[in-house]
Amino acid sequence: MSVPVFLAPRDLLLRGDRAVLGGAEGRHAAAVRRLRAGERVDLTDGAGLVAECEVREALKDSLAVEVLRRREEPAPSPRVVVVQGLPKGDRGELAVEMMTEAGVDEIVPWAASRCVTQWRGDRADKALNRWRNTAREAGKQARRFHLPEVPPQETTARVAERVRGAAAAFVLHEEAKTPLSSADLPREGDIVLVVGPEGGVADAELEAFAAAGAVPALLGPTVLRTSTAGVAAAAVILARTGRW
């Protein structure tokens, strides 16, 4: 059985050889996972710092641990960034969960012109928090020590700026001639994958991304749902760059 992972503030992980994991993480470890003295647990700040620990005592809603070893996990390279057109319903959280488990480094909500779902006002904050919470929980489950970034939703113009600054960028499109499996890939920097909503990427958006340097890419012979296309494309990139 793999060692469970919990999130903790960086200063707690650097504070001596003993620590107490409190709050929601401590309650989950003690009351839900029912960890007991002598069991192993890893604590991380989600930004690469890992404290390998042994449980000394399980309290009512916290966990007292002894730090056995600390280490810094290097950030993976190249970075894989998926720009995700907003899916309908809870498919957004499904997409975030799968991409986090696969190893995507940044998941960018994109307000594409053909998105049925719209994030506005309080709804935008709530939806973004759901995506972030999903990434957080999926990251712990997948034993990731670098959690993916989930920034606020971006416009097409902002996504074009990302494309312009990337080492490589691809727009998934069913009419593209270049297979993603054979596209030229960099060894470092950001690789940006743009995934359109259920209605597809509009012509004006394709033109904006092409002008910024993105290449239309074909993922395969079938058309995937927007909630699954991102993880499928990321898998191709992660395998081809040696991260898998």
pLDDT (tens digit, 9 = 90+) per residue, 166-182? 999 999 999 899 999 99
pLDDT at 105 over 90: yes
Q: What CATH number has the domain bearing residue 150?
A: 3.40.1280.10
Q: Which of 72, 102, 125 is the last residue of a domain?
A: 72
Closest CA to 203 of 216, 192, 213: 216
CA 38 to chain centroid: 32
pLDDT at 1 over 80: no
Return the pLDDT at 227.
95
Return the pLDDT at 100.
98
Q: First and final CA of the chain: distance in angstroms?
A: 21
Is 99 in the same domain as 183? yes
Peptide bond into 152 cis (omega under 30): no
* Domain count for the chain: 2
Q: Is 224 exposed, middle or buried (0-12, 13-18, 19+ CB in 10 A)?
A: middle
Q: What residue numbers bound the domain in which 183 lies?
A: 79-239
Is 35 in the same domain as 64? yes
Contact present, 166 and 83 (Cβ < 8 Å): no
Mean pLDDT, to the nearest integer, of 111-139?
A: 94
Return the pLDDT at 89.
84
pLDDT at 224 over 80: yes
Q: Which parts of the chain fold into alpha helices (H)?
A: 10-13, 23-27, 91-102, 121-141, 156-165, 203-212, 226-240
Is 104 in the same domain as 153? yes
Mean pLDDT, to the nearest integer, of 130-150?
A: 97
Is 130 in the same domain as 227? yes
Is 55 in the same domain as 140? no
Q: Is residue 136 part of a domain?
A: yes
pLDDT at 158 over 80: yes
Reported as half-sphere exposure (CB side, CA atoms, 13 A), residue 220 has a value of 11
Q: Is residue 17 part of a domain?
A: yes
Q: Which residue has the higher pLDDT, 215 or 15?
A: 215
Q: Is residue 157 part of a domain?
A: yes
pLDDT at 147 over 80: yes
Return the pLDDT at 94.
97
Is 61 in the same domain as 180? no
Q: What percent of the chain has pLDDT over 90?
A: 86
Mean pLDDT, to the nearest integer, of 183-211?
A: 96
